[in-house]
Amino acid sequence: MIKQDYYEILEISRTATSDEVKKAYRKKAMQFHPDKNPGNKEAEEKFKEAAEAYSVLIDPEKRPLYDQYGHEGIGRAGFNGFSGFNSSIFSDFEDIIGNFFGFGDIFGGTRHRSAHYPQKGQDLVLELELVLEEAASGTEKEIKLNRAETCSVCKGTKMSPGTQKSVCPTCQGQGQLRYQQGFFSIARECSYCHGTGEIIDSPCKECRGTGKIRKKTTLSIKVPAGVDNGNRLRIEREGEVGDQSTSRGDLYVVIRIKEHEFFKRKENNLYCDISISIPQASLGVKMEIPTLEKNETMKIPAGTQSGTIFRLRGKGIKDLHKFRKGDLFVRVNVKTPEHLTKDQKDILRMFAESRGDELDNIDRSVVDRSKDWAK
């Protein structure tokens, strides 16, 4: 039977680099692996062809011979095609496809890797609601958790006290079972012991053989000054307990800040609105402005227009990572009075007449100014 060209099998050029050879082989191995094509003889044959092509083209001694003399050159050199390949070439096979199929022992190799590892404790995430004042100054809060803890009866061993584990009768304590598929020897996790190599004959009744129980607990946590909405506080080793000999998970506290009635926050700055009367805006006034710490006196100069923004430096919120504080921005809105008395109206009319403002006739000042703009 005429053998197919190795470069054609892997669908690469004759100038392909070693990395390109590995990449092409990985693609073929993923496509035709027996685990993905059970009982498919054609796929198994293509898988073997890809492995044979790879064993030659990745070998610095075989590839030049193959390039010059083809399959005959490999045979004359005593390699006899695939039957005499050097298994050391496949030392990186697990890096190519091993992690995708769950085996690390292949082509007669001797590496052993347990399929089961003790699991670290799960991380926990919860939300904590604060008012703006608490976020600005920092606070201490008590939170309630319902988390996995080590079983107090079996101490995490999963066994009833006084009992022992036994060797798994299926895998003989190896944690893996070996299967022969053609010229492949593939190791898979033992489904009976789930890769541990051991069997618990008498599971703990308290935790039902899990080694853990759920327990309610209360923690006191410190919230630093300056936290913002969406910030996450990491509290190490306060998550759920893990398997024996592993560490606890972590606790992540997500900050949620309630909307404030007076202040709006943007990063470390605060914003607020205040209203003043027309006389106050016209003549100027000193006003007491609330902040998150204490009231501050702010001078509003005469002639202030509605919408003017004043800045009180350092009256915002402390930066979470620095010592400086943000600012407070106060927007002034001039409020037009309603429900005036007759005397108040007379006073305003006198004031308007003194300024030459039209009240009873049509005020054409805007029209006249627009004509000037058009010139």
Token pair for residue 166?
């036994």
| Superfamily covering domain 124-257 | Heat shock protein DnaJ, cysteine-rich domain (2.10.230.10)
The predicted pLDDT at position 106 comes to 41
Domain boundaries, given as residue ranges, for the chain: 6-101, 124-257, 264-338
The predicted pLDDT at position 154 comes to 94
CA dihedral 41, 47, 53, 58 (to 10 degrees): -160
**Nearest residue to 21 (alpha-carbon basis) of 57, 61, 67, 60:** 57
What pTM was computed for the model?
0.60
Given a cut of 50, the residues of the chain with pLDDT beneath it are: 81-95, 97-115
CATH of the domain spanning 6-101: 1.10.287.110
- Count other C-beta atoms under 10 Å from residue 278's C-beta: 14
Q: Which CATH class is domain 264-338?
A: mainly beta
SS (H, E, C) the chain: CCCCCHHHHHCCCCCCCHHHHHHHHHHHHHHHCCCCCCCCHHHHHHHHHHHHHHHHHCCCCHHHHHHHHCHHHHHHCCCCCCCCCCHHHHHHHHHHHHHHHCCCCCCCCCCCCCCCCCCCCCCEEEEEEECHHHHHHCEEEEEEEEEEEECCCCCCCCECCCCCEEECCCCCCCCEEEEEECCEEEEEECCCCCCCCEEECCECCCCCCCCEEEEEEEEEEEECCCCCCCCEEEECCCCCCCCCCCCCCCEEEEEEECCCCCCEEECCEEEEEEEEEHHHHHHCEEEEECCCCCCEEEEECCCCCCCCEEEECCCCCECCCCCCECCEEEEEEEECCCCCCHHHHHHHHHHHHHHCCCCCCCCCHHHHHHHHHHC
Q: Which residues contact 49 (CB under 8 A, 6 or more apart)?
A: 4, 9
The predicted pLDDT at position 243 comes to 86
